[in-house]
Amino acid sequence: MQRIQSALVALGIGDGLADGVFDAAMQSAVRLFQSRNVDTAGVPLKVDGVVGRFTWIALFGLPEADVPDADAVPVLARLPAQMLAVATTQIGVREWPGQANRGAQVDQYLQTAGIANPGSNPPGGYPWCQAFLYWCAVQACHALGRPDVPVPRTAGVLRHWQLAAQVSGVRRIPKAQALADPTLVTPGMFFTLDHGAGKGHTGLVERVYPDGRLVTIEGNANAEGGREGVGVYRLDRRKLTEDKLKGFVDFGAA
């Protein structure tokens, strides 16, 4: 019980829970977590307030009893699911009104990704979609007890695409390959858009529909899916056929 409560508190949705007690507040926190998360197949969790098998896996990864060989199933195989769990807790984060690319939480994303002073680039500040994903990766690795972070530390989208190719175990799936076999694209992957002139946009894949449409969680986005947005959004506008799509990055085996 305390382990579940600690995990919920770490995700920012379990403050004020009675220690070791599964009361109404605890059930409400579990329901909130379930409403924001998916299982390993990308299907939304059942919102029933019960910590069953799929909710447990979304919180902690595969139960040890289900891992036949610790060497065959490395800890980071759970990283994509954990990054999604973290990212969903950030949906609704917004920039400060009238201040592009600035905000209390936005500044944390940027600082974590290496931008020491987010206010040092006036007037437009620093785009933060990639910084948001790196922050999610840091939180996810911490929750999994992983001391290092395989996601390259950068706030640049296209720079990340380049650096990811140098990380052992990382898969980059170009657009053409994803179109040829959409089953290669799975929840927890980063998508990368290339807008030209060194500008890009990125986010996390949350779900893949049979028609090639993607449900994504994106920072520095808006309801229309633009790259210069105002907050963290869950969107269902991306498609494998999107003309700016460069490809996907998978850290599941890194």
pLDDT for residue 233: 95
pLDDT at residue 168 above 90? yes
Is residue 76 assigned to a domain?
Answer: no
Same domain, 36 and 99: no
CB-CB contact of 193 with 203 (8 Å): no
Last residue of a domain, one of 36, 71, 106: 71
How many independent structural domains does the chain possess? 2
Its domain, for residue 66, covers 2-71
User: Is 0.85 surpassed by the pTM of this model?
Assistant: no
Last residue of a domain, one of 49, 71, 93: 71
Is residue 112 assigned to a domain?
Answer: yes
pLDDT digits (tens, 9 = 90+) for 202-251: 999 988 887 888 989 999 999 876 666 899 999 988 999 999 999 999 99
pLDDT at residue 3 above 80? no
Largest distance between two CA atoms of the chain: 55
pLDDT for residue 70: 35
Same domain, 64 and 106: no
